[in-house]
Amino acid sequence: MNSTENKKLVEEKDPRVHARFDKFSICTTCYRDKSDCICKKVTSFSNKLRVIILQHPQEQFKKLNSAHLCGLILRNCQVFAGLSWPNFKSVAGEHEQPSQWGILYLKGHAQSLSPVEIFDRKDQPILQSEIKLRGIIALDGSWKQAKTLWWRNPWFLKLNRITLNPEHESLRNQSKKEGLSTIESVALALRYLGEKSTLADSMIWQYEKLILSK
């Protein structure tokens, strides 16, 4: 059995992939069952680059979901659940410009030179030093759900695209090799966009400890 088949089997056997909390008994801060509230166990960090997570509604109560943990760890992070938002400013704020923001895009390019690459809205590669990036947007959902969000929010195309090419496979057994959980994607992006590596390391470690090892 090759490793892909092996991973597929693990995923099929892990009931937690699709497991959800009962939405009437969750803590409304960490979105975990009140009996398993992790709010007081999280170590928070200040992040310079603002992070916004747009969460597909079907992801909201999933046990393995990492969006709210990400929001608790990062002091400068917001999570919005929904399917569509009228425009960029309704999400990021009146004073923000889409040209200074990037949306995370998981590509997993074998030929990529770097784990994180930035492309402008005309799809031209740009260096981080060429734009003063103020924030990033991450989509929280499966590949199919993310596709829906792209389709429902045409303003995403006004943002720079931050392509992630993870070197390491996800801690979670995703169906695609390049698949990463939301918190892993954000950690990878922040690591390469100038935040301290201790912050990214802690995000992964806390995800493992507070959600995956349960």
Q: By CB under 5 A, name the binding residues for Zn ion.
A: 27, 29-30, 37, 39
Residue 30 C-beta: closest distance to Zn ion, Å = 3
Residue 125 C-beta: closest distance to Zn ion, Å = 41
Phi, psi of 126 (to 5 degrees): -135, 155
**Which CB, 37 or 64, lies closer to Zn ion?**
37
Token reading at 196: 């301290």
C-beta atoms surrounding 15 within 10 Å: 8
For residue 189, which of 161, 209, 148 has the smallest C-alpha distance?
161
Residue 69 C-beta: closest distance to Zn ion, Å = 10
For residue 77, which of 163, 38, 135, 28 has the smallest C-alpha distance?
135
**Single-letter amino acid code for the residue at 8:** K
**Which CB, 59 or 195, lies closer to Zn ion?**
59
**Which CB, 69 or 137, lies closer to Zn ion?**
69
CA dist 94 and 110 (Å) reads: 38
Residue 58 C-beta: closest distance to Zn ion, Å = 21
**Which CB, 30 or 162, lies closer to Zn ion?**
30
